[in-house]
Amino acid sequence: MACRNICERYRATKDRASSYYAQGFKRCQMCELFINWGGAKCPCCKSALRTKPRGKKRINHVNHYLNTLPEDSESWQENRGSRVLQSG
Protein backbone atom coordinates (compact mmCIF):
# COMPACT_ATOMS: atom_id res chain seq x y z
CA MET A 1 0.00 0.00 0.00
CA ALA A 2 1.27 3.49 -0.75
CA CYS A 3 1.90 6.30 1.74
CA ARG A 4 -1.22 8.37 2.41
CA ASN A 5 0.59 11.03 4.52
CA ILE A 6 -1.21 10.02 7.73
CA CYS A 7 2.23 9.32 9.22
CA GLU A 8 3.14 13.03 9.06
CA ARG A 9 1.13 13.50 12.27
CA TYR A 10 3.50 11.10 14.05
CA ARG A 11 6.81 12.39 12.62
CA ALA A 12 9.61 12.03 15.18
CA THR A 13 12.07 14.72 16.24
CA LYS A 14 15.28 13.69 17.96
CA ASP A 15 17.95 15.09 20.23
CA ARG A 16 21.24 15.84 18.55
CA ALA A 17 23.27 13.51 20.78
CA SER A 18 21.51 10.23 20.06
CA SER A 19 19.85 8.31 17.27
CA TYR A 20 16.18 7.90 16.50
CA TYR A 21 16.31 4.21 17.37
CA ALA A 22 17.98 4.87 20.75
CA GLN A 23 15.11 7.20 21.62
CA GLY A 24 12.54 4.52 20.80
CA PHE A 25 11.30 5.83 17.45
CA LYS A 26 10.54 3.50 14.55
CA ARG A 27 11.19 3.83 10.82
CA CYS A 28 8.75 3.15 8.03
CA GLN A 29 10.64 2.20 4.90
CA MET A 30 7.65 2.78 2.66
CA CYS A 31 6.97 6.31 3.94
CA GLU A 32 10.72 6.97 4.42
CA LEU A 33 10.53 8.65 7.83
CA PHE A 34 10.87 8.01 11.56
CA ILE A 35 7.64 8.05 13.55
CA ASN A 36 6.66 8.07 17.20
CA TRP A 37 4.20 5.17 17.15
CA GLY A 38 3.51 2.33 19.57
CA GLY A 39 2.36 -0.28 17.09
CA ALA A 40 4.33 -2.70 14.95
CA LYS A 41 2.82 -1.46 11.67
CA CYS A 42 2.75 2.01 10.14
CA PRO A 43 -0.59 3.80 10.72
CA CYS A 44 -0.41 5.12 7.18
CA CYS A 45 0.62 2.30 4.85
CA LYS A 46 0.38 -0.72 7.21
CA SER A 47 3.94 -1.89 6.44
CA ALA A 48 6.16 -3.31 9.20
CA LEU A 49 8.16 -0.71 11.13
CA ARG A 50 11.90 -1.06 11.60
CA THR A 51 12.96 -0.83 15.27
CA LYS A 52 16.71 -1.42 14.91
CA PRO A 53 19.34 0.05 12.60
CA ARG A 54 20.65 -2.12 9.76
CA GLY A 55 24.32 -1.18 9.54
CA LYS A 56 27.01 -2.20 12.02
CA LYS A 57 28.16 1.42 12.41
CA ARG A 58 24.68 2.54 13.49
CA ILE A 59 24.18 -0.52 15.72
CA ASN A 60 27.41 0.35 17.56
CA HIS A 61 26.25 3.97 17.89
CA VAL A 62 22.95 2.92 19.48
CA ASN A 63 24.71 0.45 21.81
CA HIS A 64 27.14 3.15 22.93
CA TYR A 65 24.27 5.53 23.68
CA LEU A 66 22.30 2.90 25.64
CA ASN A 67 25.34 1.84 27.67
CA THR A 68 26.25 5.40 28.68
CA LEU A 69 22.84 6.32 30.09
CA PRO A 70 22.83 6.89 33.86
CA GLU A 71 21.00 4.10 35.63
CA ASP A 72 18.61 6.45 37.39
CA SER A 73 17.47 8.16 34.18
CA GLU A 74 14.00 7.59 32.79
CA SER A 75 15.39 6.55 29.40
CA TRP A 76 17.47 3.84 31.01
CA GLN A 77 14.40 2.44 32.74
CA GLU A 78 12.62 2.18 29.38
CA ASN A 79 15.57 0.63 27.53
CA ARG A 80 17.06 -1.63 30.20
CA GLY A 81 15.42 -4.74 28.77
CA SER A 82 17.07 -4.27 25.39
CA ARG A 83 20.36 -2.60 26.27
CA VAL A 84 22.47 -4.21 23.54
CA LEU A 85 21.44 -4.75 19.94
CA GLN A 86 22.82 -7.66 17.96
CA SER A 87 24.54 -6.89 14.67
CA GLY A 88 23.81 -8.97 11.64
Position 88 scores a pLDDT of: 47
Q: What is the mean pLDDT of the chain?
A: 76
Provide the pLDDT confidence category of residue 37 given band limits of 50, 70 and 90. confident
Query: Over 70: is that where the pLDDT of 28 sits?
Result: yes
pLDDT score, position 65: 73
Tell me: the pLDDT tens digits for 41-72? 888 888 888 887 777 777 787 777 777 766 65
pTM: 0.62
Q: Please give the backbone phi and psi of residue 26, each rounded to the nearest 5 degrees, phi first.
A: -125, 155
DSSP string, 16-81: SSS-TTTTT-EEETTTTEEE--SSSB-TTT-PBEE-S-SSHHHHHHHHHHHHTS-TTSHHHHHHGG
Could you tell me where the beta strands, DSSP code E, fall in the chain?
26-28, 33-35, 49-50
8-state DSSP, 48: B
How confident is the model at residue 19, as a pLDDT?
A: 79
